[in-house]
C-alpha cells in the first residue's frame, strides 16, 4: 500500500470514529432538517401567492406552533386530572382485579388446573418491579433539562435552515469531489422530495387514525375522546410501537368506568390498526414513499439500538434518506455501471 493510500485510509478511519462519537448531535441536526423540510411544504404554498420567503417562513412556523400548543393544551391538562383520579382509584382497582382472579381460580380454572400460583405471591413479586419503574421515572425526569436544551437546539437549527437553506446545502456538497458534486445536488433534491412525500403520507395517516379513534371512542362514550384521538394520531407517527402505546391510556380510563369498555376499546384499536396496516398504509405510502414493511421494521430496530428513543422516532425519515442514497449512489452510480475488466 502506497503512503498516500495509507494516509487516506487512516483519515477515513478517524473521520468515521469522529462521526460515531458525535452521532447524537448529527441526529439532532437531521431532526432539524426533517422539520425544516416538512414546514417548507407550507412555506412553498405561501410563496406561490407571492409572499416573501421570510414572511412565509414566520407565518408557517406560527401556524405549526399554534397547532402544537393546541394539541398540548388539549391533551396534557385533562390527562393530568385523569391520572390523579387513577392514582386514587388504583387500590380499589387492584382489589377488583384480585377478586376477579380469585373467582376465576375457584370456579373455572381451579377444578381443571392444579398447582396454580398464589395471587398474593404474584403481587409480592410485582412490587419490586413497580419500585424499579418509579426509580426509572425519576431518572427520566432528571434528564429533562438536557432534553429541553436539545429541543431548543433543534428549533434554532430548524429556523436557520428554513430562512436560508442554500449556504448549508453548498457546504455539504463541497465535501464531495468536484466531479461528483452535480450528482450530489441531484441526490439531495431526491432526498428532499422523498421527505416531503413521506411527510404528506404521515399526515394523512395521522388524521385518518385520529378521526376513526375519536369517532369510535365517542360511540363507546369513553371520557376525553377528543384528547385520545389526538394522541392516537400523534403516536401513529411512530409505526408499530406508537399504535400500541396509544391504546394504553384510553383502555385505562375506560376500565375506571366499566371493565367491558376497556375490552371494547382494545377491539376498536385493533380494528383501526388493521385497516391502517392492510389498506391505508399500502394505498397512501405506496404513492408517497415505497418502503417495504420488513425494511421499515429493521430500520426502527437499527436506529433505536444506535441512537435511542430519538432514533426510533426518526427511523422512517432516516430510512427514506438512506434508501435514496443507496439507490442512487450504490445501485445506479456503482453497481449498474460496474463493468468487469478483460480476463475476469
Cβ(291)–Cβ(320) below 8 Å: yes
* Residue of 240 and 108 predicted with greater confidence: 240
Compute the Cα dihedral for 277, 280, 282, 286 and give only its sign.
Answer: negative
Return the C-alpha cell found at 242.
Answer: 406508537
pLDDT, tens digit, 9 for 90 and up, residues 252-261: 778 777 778 8
295 pLDDT exceeds 70? yes
Compute the Cα dihedral for 65, 71, 73, 75 and give only its sign.
Answer: negative
Cβ(269)–Cβ(210) below 8 Å: no
* Residue of 105 and 147 predicted with greater confidence: 147
pLDDT bucket at 140, cuts 50 / 70 / 90: very low
Q: What whole-number percentage of the chain has pLDDT above 70?
A: 75
**Predicted local confidence at residue 137, as pLDDT:** 47
**Predicted local confidence at residue 309, as pLDDT:** 78
* Residue of 136 and 10 predicted with greater confidence: 10
Count the neighbouring beta carbons within 10 Å of the beta carbon of residue 32. 20
Give the residue-averaged pLDDT of 275-283. 74
Count the neighbouring beta carbons within 10 Å of the beta carbon of residue 245. 12
- Cα separation, 25 vs 21, whole angstroms: 9
- Cα separation, 162 vs 227, whole angstroms: 31
| Full 3-state SS string of 119-162 | HHHHHHHHHHHHHHHHHHHHHHHHCHHHHHHHHHHHHHHHHHHH
Q: The cell 394539541 sits on which residue?
A: 71
176 pLDDT exceeds 70? yes
Distant-in-sequence, close-in-space partners of 284: CB < 8 Å, separation ≥ 6: 201, 204, 205
Angle at 244 between CA 238 and CA 245, to 5 degrees: 80
pLDDT bucket at 87, cuts 50 / 70 / 90: low
5 pLDDT exceeds 80? no
Per domain, the residue ranges of the chain are 22-78+126-164, 177-336
In three-state secondary structure terms, 255 is: helix
Q: What is the pTM of this model?
A: 0.72
pLDDT, tens digit, 9 for 90 and up, residues 33-64: 999 988 888 888 888 888 888 888 889 989 98
- Cα separation, 319 vs 50, whole angstroms: 34
Q: The cell 457546504 sits on which residue?
A: 171
Angle at 192 between CA 33 and CA 61, to 5 degrees: 50
**C-alpha to C-alpha distances, 58 to 54, 133, 162, nearest whole angstrom:** 6, 42, 9
185 pLDDT exceeds 90? yes
Amino acid at each position: 500500500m502506497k503512503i498516500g493510500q495509507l494516509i487516506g485510509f487512516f483519515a477515513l478511519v478517524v473521520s468515521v470514529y469522529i462521526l460515531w462519537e458525535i452521532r447524537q448531535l448529527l441526529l439532532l441536526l437531521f431532526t432539524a432538517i426533517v422539520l425544516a423540510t416538512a414546514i417548507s411544504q407550507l412555506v412553498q404554498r405561501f410563496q406561490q401567492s407571492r409572499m416573501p420567503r421570510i414572511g412565509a417562513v414566520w407565518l408557517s412556523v406560527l401556524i405549526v406552533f399554534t397547532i402544537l400548543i393546541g394539541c398540548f393544551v388539549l391533551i396534557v391538562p385533562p390527562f393530568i386530572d385523569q391520572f390523579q383520579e387513577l392514582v386514587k382509584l388504583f387500590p380499589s382497582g387492584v382489589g377488583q382485579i384480585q377478586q376477579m382472579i380469585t373467582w376465576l381460580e375457584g370456579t373455572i380454572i381451579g377444578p381443571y388446573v392444579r398447582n396454580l400460583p398464589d395471587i398474593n405471591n404474584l403481587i409480592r413479586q410485582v412490587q419490586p418491579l413497580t419500585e424499579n419503574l418509579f426509580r426509572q421515572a425519576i431518572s427520566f425526569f432528571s434528564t429533562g433539562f438536557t432534553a429541553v436544551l436539545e429541543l431548543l437546539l433543534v428549533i434554532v437549527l430548524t429556523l436557520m435552515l428554513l430562512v436560508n437553506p442554500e449556504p448549508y446545502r453548498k457546504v455539504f456538497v463541497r465535501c464531495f469531489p468536484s466531479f461528483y458534486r452535480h450528482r450530489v445536488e441531484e441526490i439531495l433534491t431526491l432526498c428532499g422530495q422523498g421527505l416531503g412525500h413521506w411527510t404528506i403520507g404521515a399526515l394523512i395517516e395521522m388524521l385518518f387514525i385520529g378521526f376513526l379513534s375519536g369517532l369510535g371512542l365517542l360511540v363507546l362514550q369513553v371520557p376525553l375522546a377528543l384528547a385520545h384521538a389526538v394522541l392516537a394520531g400523534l403516536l401513529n407517527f411512530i409505526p408499530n410501537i406508537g399504535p400500541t402505546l396509544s391504546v394504553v391510556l384510553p383502555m385505562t380510563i375506560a376500565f375506571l368506568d366499566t371493565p367491558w369498555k376497556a375490552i371494547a376499546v382494545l377491539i376498536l384499536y385493533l380494528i383501526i390498526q388493521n385497516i391502517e396496516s392492510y389498506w391505508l398504509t399500502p394505498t397512501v405510502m405506496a404513492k408517497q414513499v415505497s418502503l417495504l414493511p420488513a425494511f421499515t421494521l429493521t430500520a426502527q430496530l437499527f436506529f433505536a439500538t444506535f441512537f435511542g428513543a430519538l432514533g426510533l422516532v426518526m427511523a422512517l425519515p432516516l430510512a427514506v434518506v438512506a434508501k435514496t442514497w443507496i439507490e442512487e449512489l450504490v445501485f445506479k452510480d456503482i453497481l449498474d455501471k460496474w463493468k468487469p475488466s478483460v480476463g475476469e
